[in-house]
Each structure stands twice: as structure tokens, then as C-alpha cells.
Structure 1
Amino acid sequence: MAETKTDPSGARRARGRPRAWDDKSEQNTIKSLDRAMAVFEHLSTQSGVSLSALSDQLGESTATLYRILFTLETRGLVEFDQGQQLWHIGPGAFIIGARFLRRTSLVERARPILRKLMEDTGETANLGVAQGDQVLFVSQIETHANIRAFFPPGTLSPLHASGIGKALLAFMEPAQCERILAQNARERFTEYTLCDADLLKENLAKTRERGYSIDGEEKNLGMRCIAAPVFNNYGEAVAGLSVSGPTSRVSPDMVGDLAEAVRKAAAALTSALGGEIPPQIPTSS
């Protein structure tokens, strides 16, 4: 049990918590650290960027950015490619991310289920969680086929243009879903991307009715994805499982069988986590 102390008001607070613990105002942020983290997060979305390009993208001076990047480099969080003169996310970021993943049994428990899903369907199996208005892919088992989908752990994809993303959107609290749809502009990746709010809501309603979502070339032309939500013990969608592959293999005729396999896998992971599928969620065709 955490030790407690009494503050001047007489209220008891846990040891290690400052008096301003519940004050989330700007005065309690370290602005230089916040700026560095913003640079770090932005760099993590790039495949390599020059200092001048980063300056243009973030509206910061090159001198300020260099000090931030150099500091992060000393911790291994970013690295500099001398030959190409580009900054990249560093191995230290992966190490920290791996430590985060070890905090939960989600990835560990999902691995055998993902492997079986890949073997049963012949397509790449993925695991993702929501991070803001995006999906963070945290695990994947690749198919052995020559043409395959590839979303390495750490990849981010917008919720509206992802099978897992739409599965999570469809089964999250309605108010939270509405807030995400209202606050974020939806980027168009292909002619099939659902950018219109009404069309997206209609698609999410269909997802709820059948218990799985379909990404039909909405992020990448020639690729189709089928996903289903994973629930915790409160019946909340906390992750999504999917299979993805080229439309030549994941054809409309195959969707029913693949969806059944994906929903079974999602139900198995829900059970492995001690979760519970809400009674209104379809569990079979």
C-alpha cells in the first residue's frame, strides 16, 4: 500500500505525489521537454528527414531542433545518417516500446492466436490498438505467400482507413467515436477511402451489425483487410485482430470465410485476456 502524507488542507495524498498532482494546467508542464517530445513524435512518423526539412515541417529553428535531436541522440532515441544527412528514429525508441508491451499480456497472449489465424487463412495476421485517432500495430505474423501485407510493429494508420481502426471505432463508446470523427480531418488515400462522415458512420453501423469490419482498398489499392474487435472484462474494445492480403486472394467471395476465422481468433484472444464479448455482438454468421 502506498504511504500517504497530509497536505496543509488536511487531505491525505499518496507518497510520491506532489500537491499539484491533479493540476493538469500548462503551468505544470516542462515546456522544453514538451517541445522535445513533439519533435520526437513527429520524427517517428518519418522514414528519414533532414534538419532543414524538419525545421520547415515544425516551424522551429534549425539551431533549436539540432539541440533537441542531439540530446535525444545521446539516449539512442534518434540517430543520424551521416551519408544521407537524415535523422531517423533510433533503437532506443524500440527498446522503450518493447518495455511498454511487456507491461501487458496482450501481445504475448496474441502471438499463438495470430499464428493460428495466419495458418488457417494463409494471409498476414495483425494485432493493433487505438492510439488517439490512429491504430498502432503491435504485432504481426506474416504469410509465406510472395505478395503480402506488411505492417511492422510500431506502424501507425488512421482509424478511418484501417480494418482494425474501423472495428475499434465501431465498438467504442458512441460519444468517443463521435468526438474522434468530429475533431479529425480524414485524409484520402485512395478513391475508396471513406472521408465523408455520413458514409463512414454507415460503414461503422454495418460493422456493428455483422461483428467485423472490411477495409476494401481504403488505405492501399489492391489490398483488402478484415478485422474484428477484442474486448476486455468490461466489454470494451481494447484491440483488434485482422487478416490482410491482396484483393486477388482476399476476394469478395472469400470475405465470409475469412471473417469467420477472424472473429473466432478475436473471441479466443478476448477469452485469453479474461474479457467478455458484449451480448449484442454477433459471434458467427
Structure 2
Amino acid sequence: DQLHFPPGFGFKDCIGDGNSGIIPLDKDTLTVIKIPSGEEHSEEINIERRIYERFVERGGHKAIPIYHGASEHGIRLGHVHHGNVRSYLDENAADEKTRMRCAVEVAEALDFTHECGVIHGDVQGFNVLVDWRLDAKLADFAGSSFDGSPLLIATYENYEYPGPKLSHKADIFSLGSTIYELMTDSPPYAGLSEKMILSRYSKGEFPDTESLGTVGSLITKCWRVEYEECKQVVHDLKGERFLFWSLELRATDTSKSREKCHSHTFLLR
């Protein structure tokens, strides 16, 4: 199918693509224009437009790309500098504090999404973007369910809920897999075949998360569908993040105290 780029744009400007659209960058405004990758995907981009308009009506969310409106060609969104988190973590190191912050941001964005009558349907690392501050943005709502409409997208098997896909629980299950990916640099059951992954999920068999501590327990609760709402995940993640930061601060203070003691001992000598 012929692609209909906005005037002045072409393949040379593209910085990404997906199942439903391609994304040229407007360097002058630091925005991107998402256009359908073919006529058969026009409805998906139209749904995404309506979803972003709903987000704007509800005040928007800091962990979702900024919506700059639509045109005959597609939708215009704020450019998120580092691209998707999967590719970013493949090429860059990130400390645990950054990973925890990103997990909270994605969960908050998904909770907002659900409150707006949207089921994402494809929560996974390629659809989480990272900006220049290393803050996360949940993206790609083409194919999402809007006010109960059918999902027009399916997620990868590593994130696929073994139950009704058109549900908050399916998104929360995928969120658990995405947090696992954020914390380990790898999707759950990476390397296994689609058939093997789906078989294990259907039997309630999930990767071991014990080494991840309490956030690992949270991930397993997402997989075992022990959360009814995403805001419960947000609550637990924020508690885990606070605990992590408190322990880190305590360790820093202890280290400083030791340095002071060492300094005073030296002076007494």
C-alpha cells in the first residue's frame, strides 16, 4: 500500500514503525507523526486518536506521550528521546532506582488508561518509551479497546494472559511481565517457544522471581491475577520503592557516619 506522508516528510525521517503505523520525526518541533502503514490500519490510528483525545479530556498523564492533535495524515505526539525500553536496556545500563521508578510510572499510566475506559491490550517493553530523563511513557494505543470496543492487537506470548484478553486482568498480567523485563533485562521465559510459554502460563507456571525480593512477589501476584485493579499494583509498587529508597538512604547515612568516625579517629591520633 502507498504511504501518505505529510508534506516534506518521507522514509528518511522515520524513527520507528509497528504493526499499524510508521513514525517520522519532525526535528523542528521535536514531535513525531504517526501515520497508518497501510489503508487497512487507518481505523487503528483513528482509534488511537480518539483514545488520546479522551486522555486530554481527563487531564492527560505524565507517563503517556503528549498529544499534539491530529491531521489528515495521522496523529502528532511528543518525541520520546530514547525510544523503547527494550532497546534502551539492551544498549545501556540502568540502576535499580531507575528501573523501580519506570515500573511505577508504567503502572500509573496503565491505571489512568483503565480509568479512561481503555484496555491497552499490548503492554510490553516495545510499547514503553524512555525520555531523556529516563522516565517511562506507556505508548501505542492503536488497536487498544476503547469503551468496550474489540481489541485489534495481540501481544507477544511472554506477556499474554491465559484468560479473557478484553479485561483489566489481562493488562495487569502483561504489566507483571513488563516489570519483570524492566528488572531483569529480559522478557519472562525468553528463549522458550510460543507453545511452551502458553502451556506453562495456562498451568499457572511462571518464572521464579525470588531473587527480585518483594518486587518479585508483586510480579507473581500480577501473573496469578491477585490484583483486581491496577491502582493496587501502583500502591504496592510505591510502597516497595519507598522501602528501597529508605534502605538506600540508610546505607548512605551509615557510610557517611563511618567516614566521620574514621576522620575523627585520625584527628585524635
Q: Do both proteins adopt the same fold according to a TM-score greater than 0.5, normalized to the shorter chain? A: no
TM-score (norm 2): 0.29
Higher relative contact order (CA 8 A, sep 6+): 2
Q: TM-score, normalised by structure 1?
A: 0.27
Name the one with the larger helix percent. Answer: 2
